[in-house]
Amino acid sequence: MTEQPHGTRVGVDIGGTFTDVVAVRDGEVTVTKTPSTPDEPERGVMNGLDESEAAAGYAPDAVDFFSHGTTVATNAVLEGTWADTALVTTEGFRDALEIGRQDRPDIYDFDAEKAEPVVPRDRRFTVPERLDERGTVLRELDEDAVREVAAAIDGTGVSAVAVCLLFAFENPTHERRVAEILREELPDVSVSRSSTVLPEIREYERSVTTSLNAALKPVMSDYVGDLEREVRGRGVDAAVKLMQSNGGLIDADAARERPVNTLLSGPAAGVQGATHVADRAGYSDLITMDMGGTSCDVSLVQDGEPVVSTDVAVGDYTVGVPMIDVHTVGSGGGSVAWVDAGGALRVGPRSAGADPGPICYGRGGERPTTTDAHLLLGRIDPEGFLPEDRDVGVADVRAAFAELGDELGMGPEETAQGVLDVANANMGRALRVVSVERGHDPREFALVAFGGAGPLHAPTLAAELDVPTVLVPRTAGALSALGLLISDVGYDYSQSMVRPWAGVDAETVATAFAELRAEGDSELAAEDVLPARREFERVADLRYEGQSFDVSVPLPDGEVDDGMLATIERRFHERHESRYGHADPEEPVELVTLRLHARGVVDSPETAAVAADGTVADAVAERREVRFAGDAYDAPIYDRDLLPAGGEFDGPAVVEGPESTVVLRPGQSAEVDPDGTLVVDTGVAK
Amino acid sequence: MSADPAAGDDAEVDPVTLEVVRNGCVAVAEEMNANLVRTGYSPNIKERRDCSCALFGADGEMVSQAENMPVHLGAMPFSVRAAVDAFEGDLNPGDAILLNDPFRGGAHLPDLTLVSPVFADPESDDPRLVAYAANRAHHADIGGSTAGSVAADSTEIYQEGLRIPPVKLIEDGEIDDDVFGMILANVRTPDERRGDVRAQEAANETARERVHGMVDEYGADTLEAAFEAVKDYSERRMRSELEAFPDGTYEFSDLLDDDGRGNEDLPVEVEVTVDGDEVGVDFAGTAPQTEGPINAVLAVTSSATYYAVRCVTDPEIPPNHGCYRPISIDAPERSLVNPEPPAAVVGGNLETSQRVTDVVLGAFATEAPERVLAACQGTMNNVTFGGTDPRGEDGDGADGEPYAFYETQGGGFGGRAGKDGMDGVHVHMSNTMNTPAEVLETAYPLRILRYSLRPDSGGAGEFRGGLGLRRDIEVRDHTARFSLLADRQRHAPYGLEGGDEGERGAAYLYDDADAYDAAADDDAADAGEKLPQKSVHDLPPGSVVSIRTPGAGGYGDPDERAPTAIDRDLRLGKLTPAAALARYGVDEGSSSAGRTQSDDADPADLDGE
């Protein structure tokens, strides 16, 4: 993987507004940002590479590691621009994909709408066949009927087919045979089957995931083809790797087969980047907070591993493949402040976005936003921030807050402070619930803040949640791109085997894991991962009989034998106790799913420490009046690039960097670590 | 929460503190709910989320709520009131009151509510009461004549399970084992009940901890003032919404099919009077309380009414006591919507609550149909299977375990001004998730043979009603006790503005697979036995029950329906050519749509046509 240790590594992350490129060359980290080109994303990638090569001074053929965070699959889902797809399922279950779980999306809103089924009803077909819950054949597959269905599918003109039969995770024979026949009859149509995409119990979630995978395959295949051609065309020889939602990289061919695994590619890379930076600063239990213009993505990291979930919603669809659990709150720098019908001050969820954006962007925004509030309170540099060529000044921002304040009986600065208090209350509520739902107390975590607006809010937000430490990475504005460079290659495999634990024998489990591992070995080998660099993590999902919530139990190293089964069961009870607050070792347990994570270890690039010469005092660019809670302070404004490693300073203070601004309240302090990460002591007793 | 509260000791609450504290109160309820779902023991709480949590002020008025189930919305204040009435002056830090008595603060017996007082300074000699935390969870069994405690044939509350008036289950942090032991001795699955009640206790503890944090931050005086401000805020918004609604008295009535005891066509009548910024809802004319188990206690009737008013006004208004101040409810005593003991009530919460919603919404629709929608399916289609699982661990049935399986079924969502209704969802007072077929078949000796939408079941209209569902369940190798509690099988969901009624529900029993297959192949929906909508049966091995849930009413004149919408329904097989001709005058030949292979082309789907 790293045959040329002194080569250049490049990570390219496409976001909604910017395409970020991070290049690491001889330990030097260079970040460049160019506008994204949503209609033709690969063009934005090429523009970004042009800029990066110029800024960091490397030639395309020096690139020995190229990884990419893509929004192609995500956008296709959010916009419904996937390929026309058919579904083949068990007789009697044609509508399971459309009915879903029967709950409606909003309890009180009469205008609420269910998600459109991924495959419309006239393209859903059934075949006579049936398995029972152990995978025993109750009714043989009618192959003639399958051929008839193939002919009907041919008439619909679709380019993809999903196959999802009942209990195929227990016994994939029928699904395999259906797929074979479809491939014979429809050679130009790509086929996805549930027993490879997501061999897990619950027919609705499995068929949504399989159908989405099928529908995204043509989209992803086109994009990856274009991207590879362009990248090769400019002289980059390194394999193109893509980030998956689980935080692991895969090669381009694997992404073509499993596009559904890339739905949270960019956000997952951001969490990986945050985890890496925090690990180097000595922190492993984290809440990450990526706040941009319109929203804030929140995730949990425990023991240095991002929390992965198998029921994350993307747009209107809950997708069953493992994804880093990203919770989105509608609160960003562009969130608009307003007074509602009951006279309360509200912030968001409406956002001014990037265009027109906050008033202070000078692009015609007229409603005050959280970014404007920061500006009025002195936390953002009016000189550096306001565009010179635009006709907007602090006075305009103050006037807007004065107008808003009139409705509330408050002055402009007081109103701006109120806007930040309300925005923090919104986010604080989300952060608390996200951690409490997982059974954690946010006070035991460090908050890692990134994205353009995260570091502005994080120290105050952390203090309100009693979180003692905030970390602000040096590349806070392009952390996803950095995450692309430090992640391992990673594949997830699973196999549902729902049965009483008492009846599970070691050999069955060992055999199932051996099969999953064989798949992992072959995929890692296809990516040229040497055997010594392959790691496999085995997990068993168990639950109490009759329960519906599984607990994942990692297996210890070694052969699966009776002793290991006993260990798994003991650990299940322990984990159940810690996660759900109760356990009962007498209660019968059942096995649900076996999982294997196959990892191809990638060495993280060496990055140079920030200079330790110079003093904190030298880094003071100016002093400015900054307001906190109604009081004005004469606060130092630090230039982040000049802060030396090991430097310490106290709040109130503002740290301005090229990508983000950090605001420390009175009573808080910060230290610069060797990577340049700001480690903020929020003033809360640990 | 602001580290520097703008509010001072004079307990003035400014607009920022109002919004910050309001967020804080909602966060308390949401955290309670997250903890209840997380630590809950039974699937009904963990997966179906049939539970709700709320925070109340010291005056017993609700300040915030995290609800999963609309039917819990307005009912919990009755629980807190009952708990306070029972123990006023005798509530101390660490106490918690348990209740389920529908006639003293409950709704129906499976819903257990736990109310915990919260004191500002619990360690002091004279602790100050500042709040109550309360949560309600639907327990999978609370005793009574049938497993699952949803007996369709009960006539008195005594048959429905264990009735718990407000009792101090927890005193000074210690659970009263005598009381708890007595409760557990009366239920079928005591371990599960113990676990679920413990989760309810933990949820209230979460609230205690968080309210203590708010007291530390703001002081008890300011917090109390902020609670009041939060309620006043919702009240202002509710009043301004009602003010905008035209004054007048609006009447509506509808019928419940029967009570399962031969008493049919039971009217639910309402007169809704909007007067300035207030609304009065009077159920005079509604049927007297009845023998069968469909009596809705006042808490349930109130919940359904509040839900309807909330939907018709602005659903964004934060739900708390302030919302209810402008709403007055009159329900005649000893009626279907305000019964006296010992009425059987389990279906009041499930079925009658839906009809109450239908009539209150129908009354509003007489003035402003565009703000309402045609009738949804109007039932929860409750089914319960119980018996002994013949599959032992070795499949020999030797160590068969007793089981009870309860689920409700979605159906059509009403046609709306501008939109068709949703197909196959839970409506109004319910919003649970279904049990996946694979999970169901793994856990219980039952098999799902078909799970589909019912073509043509949505009432025709410019915007058609949502489709009902069909779910066919086979009993495997044992005799199962089956209870059905459903409605809208005699009286169809109404249409609005010229839209047609939705198709009624039905349930059929087929003796064995051959009879079922015959019915599936031929036009023989009635090859099966039609089951009364509220009934209990012993189902023999191999028999099949087919549940057909109602479609919803349509909205607007069917003649106005866009041809593209008709074509689309034809193409998707949601409308048959025969129905297209009958309802919309569209001839098959004139449509561009051709049907492809279908799961449900068999006429058995078209029962009741």
Structure token pair of residue B516: 């079922």
B509–chain A nearest CA distance, Å: 18
DSSP of B257-311: EE-SSS-EEEEEEEEEEEETTEEEEE-TTPPBP-SSS----HHHHHHHHHHHHHH
By C-alpha distance, the chain A residue nearest B71 is: A107
Contact between A271 and A299 under an 8 Å Cβ cutoff? The reply is yes
How confident is the model over A655-671, as a mean pLDDT?
92
Residue with tokens 């808490």: B299
**Strand-strand pairing, A653-656 and A631-639:** parallel
pLDDT tens readout for residues B184-234: 999 988 988 998 999 999 999 999 999 998 999 889 999 999 999 999 999
Which CATH number goes with the domain that contains B180?
Answer: 3.30.450
First to last CA, chain A: 42
Pick A421 or B15 by higher pLDDT. A421
Pairwise CB contact (< 8 Å): B438 & A167? yes
Considering A202-211, B34-43, B215-224, B430-439, the range whose residues carry the highest mean pLDDT is: A202-211
Give the angle subtended at the CA of A487 by the CAs of A484 and A489, to the nearest 5°.
110
Of the residues B236, B253, B279, the one at which a domain ends: B236
User: Is the CB of residue B412 less than 8 Å from the CB of residue B376?
Assistant: yes
pLDDT of res. B591: 47
CA distance B240 to B237: 5
Residues A638, A616: Cα–Cα separation, whole Å: 8
What integer pLDDT is reported at residue B522 of this predicted model?
Answer: 41
State residue A632's pLDDT score. 93
Place of tokens 């995450």: A483
- Residues of chain B above pLDDT 70, percent: 91
CA–CA dist A266, B193 (Å, integer): 44
The confidence band for B587, taking pLDDT boundaries of 50, 70 and 90, is confident
User: B64 CA to chain A: closest CA distance, Å?
Assistant: 14
- In this structure, whether the domain defined by A78-220 belongs to CATH 3.40.50 is answered with yes
Closest Cβ–Cβ partner in A340, A429, A587 for B23: A429
The Cα A270–Cα A66 span in angstroms is 16
Spell out which residues of chain B touch residue A91, defining contact as CB-CB under 8 Å. 599
Q: Name the residue facing A429 among B27, B37, B206 (closest C-beta).
A: B27
Q: Among the three residues B184, B218, B236, which one is the final residue of a domain in this structure? A: B236
Closest-CA residue in chain B for A89? B599
CATH class of the domain at A270-483+626-686: alpha beta
DSSP state string for A31-43: EEEEE--TTSHHH
Q: Where are the domains of chain A?
A: 78-220, 270-483+626-686, 489-600
Cβ contact A580–B39 (<8 Å): yes
Determine the distance in angstroms separating the CA of A58 from the nearest CA of chain B, rounded to an integer.
49
pLDDT tens for A365-375 read 889 999 999 99
Q: Last residue of some domain: B236, B265, B288?
A: B236
> What pLDDT sits at residue B608?
36
Contact list, B410 vs chain A (CB under 8 Å): 99, 102
Q: How many domains are there within chain B?
A: 2
The predicted pLDDT at position A93 comes to 97
Query: Are A122 and B15 an interchain contact pair (Cβ–Cβ within 8 Å)?
Result: no
Buried b (16+ CB within 10 A) or exposed e, A339-354: beebbbbbbbebbbbb
Note whether B20 contacts A421, CB cutoff 8 Å.
yes
Nearest residue to A102 via CA among B59, B607, B466, B487: B466
B340 in a domain, yes or no? no
Chain A residues closer than 8 Å to B30 by CB:
429, 433
B26 contacts on A by Cβ (under 8 Å): 429
For residue B47, tell me if it sits in a domain. Answer: yes
In angstroms, the CA B30 to CA B36 distance is 10
- Residue A78: pLDDT band with limits 50, 70, 90: confident
Q: Does domain A489-600 have CATH number 3.30.1490?
A: yes
By mean pLDDT, which of A98-102, A167-171, A334-338, B71-75 is the weakest? B71-75
Nearest-neighbour CA in chain A from B195: distance (Å): 8
Residue type, B366: T
| Cβ-based neighbour number of residue B123 at 10 Å | 7
**DSSP per-residue letters across A42-95:** HHHHHHHHHHHHHHHT--GGGEEEEEEE--HHHHHHHHT----EEEEEETT-TT
Residue B273 to chain A, least CA–CA distance (Å): 22
Residue linked to tokens 């066949």 = A129
Shortest CA distance to B62 belongs to which of B235, B281, B202, B198? B235
User: Which chain A residues contact residue B449 at CB under 8 A?
Assistant: 92
Burial class (CB in 10 A: 0-12, 13-18, 19+), B121: middle
Structural domain boundaries enclosing B54: 15-236
CB contact under 8 A, B599 and A92: yes
How would residue B524 be classed by pLDDT, with cut points 50, 70 and 90?
Answer: very low
Q: Which residue of A has its CA nearest to B473?
A: A92
- Residue A300's DSSP bridge partners are A287
State the count of interchain CB pairs (< 8 A) between A and B: 243
Q: What would the mean pLDDT of A205-225 be, rounded to a whole number?
A: 96
For residue B152, pLDDT over 70 is answered with yes
Provide, as residue numbers in chain B, all residues whose Cβ is less than 8 Å from the Cβ of A166.
Answer: 437-438
On whether residue B173 sits in a domain, the answer given is yes
B356 assigned to some structural domain: no
- Residue B122 DSSP label: T
Q: Indicate the pLDDT class of residue A384, thresholds 50, 70 and 90.
A: low
Residue A39 has a pLDDT of 82
Tell me if residue A397 falls in helix, strand or coil: helix
Residue B171 lies in a domain: yes
Does residue B321 carry a pLDDT above 80? yes
Q: Name, in order, each residue with C-beta under 8 angstroms of B420's C-beta and a sequence gap of 6 or more.
A: B458, B463, B464, B465, B466, B565
Q: Give the SS3 label for residue B399.
A: coil
- Measured between beta carbons, which residues in chain B are less than 8 angstroms from residue A500? 393
Residues 6 or more apart whose Cβ sits within 8 Å of residue B505: B377, B379, B381, B411, B468, B486, B487, B488, B489, B533, B547, B548, B549, B550
Residue B279's closest CA among B316, B305, B314, B253? B305
Name the band, by pLDDT with cuts 50, 70 and 90, for residue A329.
Answer: confident
Q: B448 with B441: CB under 8 angstroms?
A: yes
**B379-425 pLDDT, tens per residue?**
999 999 988 999 865 444 456 778 888 889 999 999 999 999 999 99
Mean per-residue pLDDT over chain A, rounded: 91
Residue B597: pLDDT band (50, 70, 90) is very low
